[in-house]
Amino acid sequence: MTGARATAKTRAKAKPGGRARATKKAAASAAGKRSKRGAPKANHAAAERKRAQDILRLLEAQYPDAHCALVHQDAFELLVATILSAQCTDVRVNMVTPALFARYPGPGPMAQADTAELEGLIRSTGFYHNKAKSLWGASRRIVAQFGGQVPATMEELLTLPGVARKTANVVLGNAFGKNEGVVVDTHVGRLAGRMGLSKETDPRKIETDLMALFPREKWTLLAHQLIFHGRQVCAARKPKCAECRLAELCPKVGV
Protein backbone atom coordinates (compact mmCIF):
# COMPACT_ATOMS: atom_id res chain seq x y z
CA MET A 1 0.00 0.00 0.00
CA THR A 2 2.80 2.35 0.89
CA GLY A 3 4.57 1.62 -2.39
CA ALA A 4 1.40 2.29 -4.45
CA ARG A 5 0.93 5.63 -2.79
CA ALA A 6 4.51 6.61 -3.44
CA THR A 7 4.20 5.62 -7.11
CA ALA A 8 1.00 7.67 -7.55
CA LYS A 9 2.62 10.65 -5.86
CA THR A 10 5.63 10.35 -8.15
CA ARG A 11 3.41 10.22 -11.25
CA ALA A 12 1.51 13.33 -10.08
CA LYS A 13 4.76 15.21 -9.68
CA ALA A 14 6.00 14.04 -13.04
CA LYS A 15 2.79 14.95 -14.90
CA PRO A 16 3.57 18.05 -17.01
CA GLY A 17 1.46 21.17 -16.34
CA GLY A 18 -0.23 19.67 -13.30
CA ARG A 19 0.83 22.43 -10.94
CA ALA A 20 -0.12 25.16 -13.46
CA ARG A 21 -3.57 23.67 -13.96
CA ALA A 22 -4.08 23.49 -10.22
CA THR A 23 -3.09 27.13 -9.88
CA LYS A 24 -5.48 28.19 -12.64
CA LYS A 25 -8.29 26.18 -11.03
CA ALA A 26 -7.69 27.85 -7.67
CA ALA A 27 -7.61 31.29 -9.31
CA ALA A 28 -10.86 30.61 -11.16
CA SER A 29 -12.49 29.45 -7.94
CA ALA A 30 -11.39 32.61 -6.13
CA ALA A 31 -12.63 34.78 -8.98
CA GLY A 32 -15.99 33.04 -8.88
CA LYS A 33 -16.32 33.69 -5.17
CA ARG A 34 -15.44 37.38 -5.64
CA SER A 35 -18.00 37.62 -8.45
CA LYS A 36 -20.71 36.18 -6.25
CA ARG A 37 -19.84 38.59 -3.44
CA GLY A 38 -19.92 41.56 -5.85
CA ALA A 39 -23.25 40.63 -7.46
CA PRO A 40 -25.50 42.00 -4.67
CA LYS A 41 -23.66 45.37 -4.75
CA ALA A 42 -24.00 45.59 -8.52
CA ASN A 43 -27.69 44.72 -8.35
CA HIS A 44 -28.26 47.35 -5.64
CA ALA A 45 -26.46 50.02 -7.68
CA ALA A 46 -28.56 49.18 -10.74
CA ALA A 47 -31.75 49.35 -8.67
CA GLU A 48 -30.75 52.75 -7.27
CA ARG A 49 -30.06 54.11 -10.74
CA LYS A 50 -33.47 52.85 -11.87
CA ARG A 51 -35.14 54.51 -8.86
CA ALA A 52 -33.29 57.75 -9.61
CA GLN A 53 -34.59 57.70 -13.19
CA ASP A 54 -38.13 57.19 -11.92
CA ILE A 55 -37.72 60.11 -9.52
CA LEU A 56 -36.41 62.27 -12.34
CA ARG A 57 -39.34 61.34 -14.57
CA LEU A 58 -41.84 62.40 -11.89
CA LEU A 59 -39.97 65.63 -11.13
CA GLU A 60 -39.97 66.55 -14.82
CA ALA A 61 -43.71 65.88 -15.02
CA GLN A 62 -44.49 67.92 -11.91
CA TYR A 63 -42.14 70.84 -12.61
CA PRO A 64 -41.92 71.26 -16.38
CA ASP A 65 -41.20 74.99 -15.98
CA ALA A 66 -38.52 74.70 -13.29
CA HIS A 67 -35.91 77.41 -13.78
CA CYS A 68 -33.37 79.58 -12.03
CA ALA A 69 -35.26 81.84 -9.62
CA LEU A 70 -32.60 84.56 -9.68
CA VAL A 71 -33.61 87.23 -12.20
CA HIS A 72 -30.76 88.05 -14.56
CA GLN A 73 -30.05 89.22 -18.10
CA ASP A 74 -26.53 87.89 -18.58
CA ALA A 75 -23.74 85.87 -16.98
CA PHE A 76 -22.43 88.79 -14.93
CA GLU A 77 -25.83 89.57 -13.42
CA LEU A 78 -26.31 85.90 -12.56
CA LEU A 79 -22.85 85.76 -10.97
CA VAL A 80 -23.62 88.81 -8.84
CA ALA A 81 -27.07 87.54 -7.86
CA THR A 82 -25.68 84.13 -6.89
CA ILE A 83 -23.00 85.68 -4.69
CA LEU A 84 -25.69 87.77 -2.99
CA SER A 85 -27.93 84.71 -2.49
CA ALA A 86 -25.61 83.20 0.14
CA GLN A 87 -27.61 83.05 3.40
CA CYS A 88 -30.37 85.04 1.70
CA THR A 89 -33.59 84.23 -0.13
CA ASP A 90 -33.86 84.54 -3.89
CA VAL A 91 -36.87 86.81 -3.36
CA ARG A 92 -34.78 89.30 -1.38
CA VAL A 93 -31.96 89.17 -3.92
CA ASN A 94 -34.40 89.91 -6.74
CA MET A 95 -35.59 92.95 -4.80
CA VAL A 96 -32.06 94.29 -4.49
CA THR A 97 -30.52 93.62 -7.90
CA PRO A 98 -32.55 96.01 -10.13
CA ALA A 99 -31.14 99.10 -8.39
CA LEU A 100 -27.71 97.47 -8.11
CA PHE A 101 -27.49 96.71 -11.84
CA ALA A 102 -28.85 100.13 -12.76
CA ARG A 103 -26.05 101.71 -10.76
CA TYR A 104 -23.34 99.29 -11.90
CA PRO A 105 -24.26 97.89 -15.36
CA GLY A 106 -21.40 95.45 -15.79
CA PRO A 107 -18.09 94.41 -14.27
CA GLY A 108 -16.32 97.59 -15.38
CA PRO A 109 -18.50 100.00 -13.40
CA MET A 110 -18.71 97.64 -10.42
CA ALA A 111 -14.91 97.33 -10.35
CA GLN A 112 -14.82 101.10 -9.78
CA ALA A 113 -17.59 101.10 -7.16
CA ASP A 114 -17.36 103.07 -3.96
CA THR A 115 -17.31 100.48 -1.19
CA ALA A 116 -19.74 102.30 1.09
CA GLU A 117 -22.23 102.87 -1.72
CA LEU A 118 -22.00 99.25 -2.87
CA GLU A 119 -22.54 98.00 0.67
CA GLY A 120 -25.55 100.25 1.06
CA LEU A 121 -27.20 98.82 -2.04
CA ILE A 122 -26.81 95.20 -0.91
CA ARG A 123 -27.14 95.65 2.86
CA SER A 124 -30.51 93.90 3.14
CA THR A 125 -29.08 90.63 1.73
CA GLY A 126 -26.95 90.18 4.86
CA PHE A 127 -23.19 89.78 5.29
CA TYR A 128 -22.88 92.84 3.09
CA HIS A 129 -19.26 93.63 4.01
CA ASN A 130 -17.99 90.28 2.71
CA LYS A 131 -20.38 90.25 -0.25
CA ALA A 132 -19.33 93.74 -1.34
CA LYS A 133 -15.70 92.68 -1.12
CA SER A 134 -16.41 89.62 -3.28
CA LEU A 135 -18.38 91.60 -5.88
CA TRP A 136 -15.70 94.26 -6.12
CA GLY A 137 -12.88 91.70 -6.30
CA ALA A 138 -14.64 89.48 -8.85
CA SER A 139 -15.42 92.48 -11.06
CA ARG A 140 -11.85 93.69 -10.97
CA ARG A 141 -10.51 90.26 -11.91
CA ILE A 142 -13.04 89.84 -14.73
CA VAL A 143 -11.91 93.17 -16.17
CA ALA A 144 -8.18 92.61 -15.64
CA GLN A 145 -7.87 88.91 -16.51
CA PHE A 146 -10.83 88.05 -18.73
CA GLY A 147 -11.39 91.11 -20.90
CA GLY A 148 -14.54 92.16 -19.09
CA GLN A 149 -16.32 88.86 -19.81
CA VAL A 150 -17.36 86.32 -17.20
CA PRO A 151 -15.21 83.20 -17.81
CA ALA A 152 -17.05 80.11 -19.01
CA THR A 153 -15.01 77.31 -17.40
CA MET A 154 -15.07 75.86 -13.91
CA GLU A 155 -11.33 76.38 -13.45
CA GLU A 156 -11.46 80.07 -14.36
CA LEU A 157 -14.62 80.83 -12.41
CA LEU A 158 -13.08 79.38 -9.26
CA THR A 159 -10.32 82.00 -9.47
CA LEU A 160 -12.85 84.79 -8.87
CA PRO A 161 -13.25 86.13 -5.31
CA GLY A 162 -16.44 84.90 -3.68
CA VAL A 163 -16.93 82.04 -6.15
CA ALA A 164 -16.95 78.43 -4.96
CA ARG A 165 -18.16 75.36 -6.80
CA LYS A 166 -21.89 75.90 -6.17
CA THR A 167 -21.80 79.44 -7.60
CA ALA A 168 -19.72 78.26 -10.56
CA ASN A 169 -22.24 75.49 -11.27
CA VAL A 170 -25.10 78.01 -11.22
CA VAL A 171 -23.36 80.29 -13.71
CA LEU A 172 -22.13 77.52 -16.01
CA GLY A 173 -25.45 75.69 -16.13
CA ASN A 174 -27.78 78.67 -16.47
CA ALA A 175 -25.73 81.30 -18.30
CA PHE A 176 -23.62 79.05 -20.53
CA GLY A 177 -25.66 75.86 -20.79
CA LYS A 178 -22.81 73.72 -19.44
CA ASN A 179 -23.54 70.78 -17.15
CA GLU A 180 -20.34 70.59 -15.14
CA GLY A 181 -22.00 69.54 -11.89
CA VAL A 182 -25.14 69.64 -9.75
CA VAL A 183 -25.92 72.70 -7.66
CA VAL A 184 -26.28 71.54 -4.05
CA ASP A 185 -28.00 74.18 -1.93
CA THR A 186 -29.90 73.57 1.31
CA HIS A 187 -32.96 72.21 -0.53
CA VAL A 188 -31.02 69.85 -2.80
CA GLY A 189 -28.88 68.60 0.07
CA ARG A 190 -31.94 67.96 2.27
CA LEU A 191 -33.89 66.15 -0.44
CA ALA A 192 -30.90 64.05 -1.50
CA GLY A 193 -30.65 62.70 2.04
CA ARG A 194 -34.37 62.34 2.62
CA MET A 195 -34.88 60.49 -0.67
CA GLY A 196 -31.93 58.18 -0.02
CA LEU A 197 -29.98 59.51 -2.99
CA SER A 198 -26.96 60.24 -0.81
CA LYS A 199 -25.84 59.42 2.71
CA GLU A 200 -23.35 62.27 2.72
CA THR A 201 -23.65 65.65 4.42
CA ASP A 202 -20.81 67.45 2.64
CA PRO A 203 -22.19 69.30 -0.44
CA ARG A 204 -19.32 68.21 -2.68
CA LYS A 205 -19.85 64.55 -1.79
CA ILE A 206 -23.62 64.87 -2.25
CA GLU A 207 -22.96 66.37 -5.67
CA THR A 208 -20.72 63.44 -6.59
CA ASP A 209 -23.47 60.96 -5.61
CA LEU A 210 -26.10 62.81 -7.65
CA MET A 211 -23.81 63.05 -10.67
CA ALA A 212 -23.40 59.25 -10.58
CA LEU A 213 -27.16 58.64 -10.49
CA PHE A 214 -28.50 61.10 -13.06
CA PRO A 215 -27.62 61.78 -16.73
CA ARG A 216 -25.20 64.67 -17.25
CA GLU A 217 -27.55 66.53 -19.58
CA LYS A 218 -30.12 66.69 -16.74
CA TRP A 219 -27.88 68.07 -13.97
CA THR A 220 -28.80 71.77 -14.21
CA LEU A 221 -32.55 71.23 -14.42
CA LEU A 222 -32.43 68.51 -11.78
CA ALA A 223 -31.23 71.04 -9.22
CA HIS A 224 -34.06 73.46 -10.12
CA GLN A 225 -36.63 70.67 -9.93
CA LEU A 226 -35.40 69.54 -6.53
CA ILE A 227 -35.39 73.14 -5.29
CA PHE A 228 -38.97 73.64 -6.51
CA HIS A 229 -40.01 70.39 -4.83
CA GLY A 230 -38.24 71.35 -1.62
CA ARG A 231 -40.01 74.69 -1.48
CA GLN A 232 -43.46 73.51 -2.49
CA VAL A 233 -43.75 70.01 -1.02
CA CYS A 234 -40.73 68.61 0.81
CA ALA A 235 -40.21 71.40 3.33
CA ALA A 236 -37.58 71.08 6.04
CA ARG A 237 -39.90 71.03 9.06
CA LYS A 238 -43.25 69.84 7.73
CA PRO A 239 -42.91 67.85 4.49
CA LYS A 240 -46.23 67.19 2.77
CA CYS A 241 -45.63 63.48 2.27
CA ALA A 242 -49.34 62.74 1.82
CA GLU A 243 -49.41 65.08 -1.19
CA CYS A 244 -46.07 64.03 -2.66
CA ARG A 245 -46.03 62.27 -6.05
CA LEU A 246 -42.65 60.80 -5.17
CA ALA A 247 -43.85 59.18 -1.93
CA GLU A 248 -43.69 55.60 -3.23
CA LEU A 249 -40.08 56.09 -4.32
CA CYS A 250 -38.95 57.91 -1.20
CA PRO A 251 -37.64 56.11 1.91
CA LYS A 252 -38.33 59.31 3.91
CA VAL A 253 -34.97 59.21 5.71
CA GLY A 254 -35.17 61.27 8.87
CA VAL A 255 -38.89 62.04 8.53
pLDDT score, position 12:
47
**64 is a domain residue:** no
State the residue range of the domain holding 135. Answer: 75-175
**175: closest CA among 199, 190, 202, 153?**
153
Considering the domain architecture, whether residues 143 and 90 belong to the same structural domain is answered as yes
CATH of the domain at 128: 1.10.340.30
- Contact predicate 134/161, CB 8 Å: yes
Distance (Å, whole) CA 5 – CA 31: 33
Of the three residues 110, 142, 175, the one that is the final residue of a domain is 175
Structural Rg of the chain based on CA atoms = 28
pLDDT score, position 254:
82
pLDDT score, position 8:
47
Considering the domain architecture, whether residues 80 and 165 belong to the same structural domain is answered as yes
**200 is a domain residue:** yes
Label residue 225 exposed, middle or buried (CB < 10 Å: 0-12, 13-18, 19+). Answer: buried
Cα 247 to Cα 32, 53, 195, 196, 254, distances in angstroms: 39, 15, 9, 12, 14
Considering the domain architecture, whether residues 143 and 81 belong to the same structural domain is answered as yes
**What are the catalytic residues?**
166, 185
Considering the domain architecture, whether residues 211 and 130 belong to the same structural domain is answered as no
**35 is a domain residue:** no
- Contact predicate 79/167, CB 8 Å: yes
Distance (Å, whole) CA 83 – CA 68: 14
Considering the domain architecture, whether residues 171 and 191 belong to the same structural domain is answered as no
Mean pLDDT for back-to-back runs of 10 residues, the chain (255 residues)? 50 55 62 62 89 98 97 98 97 98 98 97 98 98 98 98 98 98 97 97 98 98 98 96 96 88
First to last CA, the chain: 74
Considering the domain architecture, whether residues 120 and 139 belong to the same structural domain is answered as yes
Q: How many domains does the chain have?
A: 2
pLDDT score, position 21:
67
Of the three residues 175, 208, 223, the one that is the final residue of a domain is 175
Considering the domain architecture, whether residues 86 and 169 belong to the same structural domain is answered as yes
Considering the domain architecture, whether residues 158 and 216 belong to the same structural domain is answered as no
pLDDT score, position 255:
82
Of the three residues 154, 175, 196, the one that is the final residue of a domain is 175
pTM: 0.83
